[in-house]
Structure 1
Amino acid sequence: MQPDARHVVRVLNGLIETTLSNVHGYREAAAHAREPRFKAMLEERAERRQALSKRLADEVRTFGGEPPRDESLAARVHERFVAFKEGRGDDVTVVDEVEEGEDVMKHRFAKAAKEPELPPRVRDWLVELSTQVRAEHDEISRLKKQMH
């Protein structure tokens, strides 16, 4: 693997880890959500983020890399949700946790999209993904404001 290919793989693998953590966060949130439409929205978001992680993994492989596995991420996310469940554990608390995950995702995708050492094709793709992630973050933020 070429030196710049290693850098691309490292950046994309970081995004995969973030995205998989987000997938698990949405699944945990859906498991704890009470309102059926909110629960369905969270489940649908988990599926969309799972699809995104697969697209990122495919791109890692085109650069000769191996994408990370997500087994340990699930455990870490679960521990965070168990801790929050011992608190209030209502839909407002769930949306607060989801927004935290969205904040991290938005920041990491925006940062990756500005990586000057990425090939233009990859950087352009990440700019597009960053825009999508930001829009989804903003939807969750609006939902949070409505629920508070």
Structure 2
Amino acid sequence: MTFSIIMDLIAVTLLIATLIYVFILNQQLKKNRHQLETFIVNFSSSLNRAESTIKELKELKETVLKSLSEQRLKASALKDELSFLLDRGESIAQQLENEIREARKIKKPQGFYEPEFEIPTVKEEKEPELVRTLKKIR
């Protein structure tokens, strides 16, 4: 036998093996075709559900962003209002403190009892009233 005949026999053998393998593979594909179709249908429905869920999430995101924006504006307005009230309260407290000091300067009538301790202001840190009284008693 010559070399070319041996090569031809090897090629024919490989082609026959390939044909047998293709035939077996074709049979398996036919047998599993229904499963593959079911898989494709299920996969398609899953993709559709995922798309609808993504749309719902985008709508929810827009709703939440709008709500947060509204709440931020309300919070900003409340902050400004509280800041105004705080400034106004400090102004009133300062006026009250000044009036109390002026009232202390006025001569008190005979027999009028005036405590010997000062009323601490909001910004000043004073000793507690009990400690001051105990120190005066000593």
Q: Normalising to structure 1: TM-score of the pair? A: 0.23
Larger Rg: 2
- Asked which structure has the greater RCO (Cα within 8 Å, sep 6+), the reply is 1
